Chains A and B, each alone.
Chain A
Amino acid sequence: MARTRTWVSIALAGALGASLAGCSSTGGKRAEDARKAASAQGRAAVDTPRWTFAMVTHSGDGDTFWDIVQSGAKQAAVKDNINFLYSHNAEAQQQAQLVDAAVDKRVDGIIVTLAKPDAMKAAVARAEKAGIPVITVNSGSEQSKQFGALTHIGQDETIAGEAVGDELNKRGRKKALCILHEQGNVGHEQRCAGVKKTFHGTVQDLYVQGTSMPDVQSSIGAKLQADKSIDSVVTLGAPYADTAVKAKKDAGSDAEVDTFDLNAKVAAELKDGTLGFAVDQQPYLQGYEAVDLLWLYKYNADVLGGGKPVLTGPQIITKDQAAALEEYTKRGTR
């Protein structure tokens, strides 16, 4: 017993010593702290009353994209002296219940995504009946006005898809693969349909199980092995781009991988030429503007967009812009 304890303490001391001696001069927490010091710090810049805004999205658990939306919203909330609440659920019925809960709480403003518009209709109507202003973000540009929301902030998915199709034409591609990682997401279907609309070559859809990366990799790999003529793979989310690159290497295919949305990995791979291009919809802006526009409405009854959606994308990002954005992606704001 005593001997074990001695051994354990020796091992602990050794580990501690090793960790102190073996400092990394690159990356890690220290680099992150340096980045934090360079990013915006918060204190309320206005003296309006402390309103409460609730944001309810259709995100699943632990989604990079929605983390960036949230960080934008939180930054605006700090500036505008807002108490910001966030909740999310991927199931339409649950998301509607969360909006109901926000209405029950009598918040001062609601920000909601309409990925499944019909399911959200009643909940949004209930918010308006209670006199709570609603702004829609990210998805549901067609329904936003009809449901009586002030403004819609986001990217038109079809237009974004068309932009990808144009870019693929520019790059002389002939056969593209569109990777859908979420069964039943209308926005994803629109993106692939948009690519089909403008792309002169052929586009094939491939459904993968987005919740399981190995499944995504093996599905893409199998498809690329089965069809050697595919010369470009388009993923619909940043985390899947790197997986598609791995699958491509395994399959020995030389297809170009392009993606919707950004993250740190995508920015790095754009910089070193592993990826062709990314089409960004600036999620930070979606969160930031949603909170800020609600604040403007409460403070000054201002509404932006003249009844049309306020677009945050698409923005095509290639090797040239990637270097500048890499730092921001690491910070979690792009």
Chain B
Amino acid sequence: MTATAPAPSPGTKADDERLVKTSPLRKLMGRPELGSVVGAIAVFLFFAIFADSFVRAASLSTVLYASSTIGIMAVPVALLMIGGEFDLSAGVMVTSSALISSMLSYQLTANVWVGVLVSLVVTLGIGVFNGVMLTRTDPPSFIITLGTFLMLTGMNLGFTKLISRTVSTKSIADMQGFSSAKDVFASTITIGGVDFKITILWWLALVVVATWILLRTRVGNWIYAVGGGEMAARAVGVPVNKTKIGLYMGVAFGAWVSGQHLLFSFDVVQSGEGVGNELIYIIAAVIGGCLITGGYGSAVGAAVGALIFGMVSKGIVFAEWNPDWFKFFLGVMLLLATLLNHWVRKRAEVTK
């Protein structure tokens, strides 16, 4: 028996699958964030019906703020996960970044912008450390960043106690440069009588930049390639190590933005916070359609994942439910969202 290739049916020009025209609807069905968008609409409608105070402008602004504080981190974390790696130090890195900035300005009695910029350099350095440790040594990122996570948690408390003699930093609200830094990282913009926090803009900007990198640049292709299959990527000349270090620096940048927001909205930083948040960022990325195994996902999805997280966490409050069940609902939501994503993706693959 010799197999013959099926003759192309009349009317189609190409028998090469890469050149087949796909309808816009098919394209939409194939997007990683589709499942999460459907989920977000469902969650919104649910709370709009069950919590009468949920759909007020002020309430939605609170929800968006809650989502943005997760989303600023979820976007770079999603990029890292598309690249096939984890960062368990992302939660405490936010606190570290805020502590460095605050204590440096205070101790040197410098303009707070000095602290902010030094904090950027040091936080990026932590990201580089994660990336270099990962690419130069054998253990998986899960283990490497677990080590970083524990070290940072200890350093946050240790250094704060050593320098400030207490567990939180001293207030820098009366120092030069504070008000301009507050404008950048923690101001409130009033639109039509409703106050919106500036973190929402940071969040949207990060989504736009990350999406552009992923879909329109060579680096984006590298990220997908590295996450899809490291060996294959290396074989076709993708700079795997550089890409991974860059991704960790991206997470560090997000941590820096979040950390400065913490500092300038509260002027005092608690050294013990941030533990456990790294999982929330990962969950937001997964709800948004990122695969744990890497090579698939999107920045928009991660942002929608953060939005779902924000809506549920505040929606439960607006609906006046018993807060004891909060984590239970979060768990249910995570499972439903991932199942929905899986189902949508399967459907999309079938219809291709």
Contacts and interface: CB of A to CB of B under 8 A. Distances in A.
A106 B323 CA distance: 19
A231 interface: no
A248 interface: no
Contacts of B167: 183-186, 189
Interface residues of A, number: 33
B62 A97 contact: yes
Given A93-B69, A101-B62, A183 B272 contact: yes
Contacts of A98: 317
A106 B317 CA distance: 13
Given A92-B266, A207-B157, A105 B271 contact: no
Contacts of B66: 94, 97
A190 to B, nearest CB: 9
B268 interface: yes
Most chain A beta carbons < 10 A, residue from B157, B271, B317, B318: B317
Interface in A138-178: none
A185 B272 contact: yes
Interface stretch (A28-36, A81-89, A253-261, A267-275): A81-89
Contact of B53 (A62, A92, A106, A121): A106
Interface in B305-352: 313-314, 317-318, 320, 323-324, 327
A191 interface: no
B262 A101 contact: no
Most chain B beta carbons < 10 A, residue from A92, A104, A185, A207: A104
Interface string B267-292: 11011111001000000000000000
Most chain A beta carbons < 10 A, residue from B56, B171, B268: B268
B149 to A, nearest CB: 14
A91 B157 CA distance: 16
B318 A101 contact: yes
Contacts of A183: 153, 157, 167, 271-272
Contacts of A250: none
A184 B266 contact: no
A66 to B, nearest CB: 11
B53 to A, nearest CB: 5
Contacts of B59: 101, 104-105
Contact of A186 (B168, B171, B313, B327): B168
Contact of B166 (A102, A106, A186, A207): A186
B58 interface: yes
Contacts of A184: 157, 167-168, 270-273
B265 interface: yes
Contacts of A101: 59, 62, 314, 317-318
A316 B73 CA distance: 47
B65 interface: yes
B273 A91 contact: yes
Given A100-B62, A186-B167, A118 B53 contact: no
A189 B62 contact: no
Contact of B318 (A105, A117, A185): A105
B266 A97 contact: no
Q: What are the 8 closest A-B residue pairs judged by CB atoms, nearest first?
A: A184-B272, A183-B272, A118-B268, A104-B59, A119-B266, A184-B270, A184-B167, A104-B58
9 contacts: A88-B323, A96-B266, A97-B62, A97-B314, A101-B314, A102-B317, A106-B53, A183-B157, A186-B167
Interface of B: 53, 56, 58-59, 62, 65-66, 69, 153, 157, 166-168, 171, 262, 265-268, 270-274, 277, 313-314, 317-318, 320, 323-324, 327
Given A61-B327, A104-B53, A183-B153, 14 more contacts: A94-B66, A96-B266, A97-B66, A98-B317, A101-B318, A104-B56, A117-B268, A119-B265, A119-B266, A183-B271, A184-B168, A184-B270, A186-B166, A189-B166
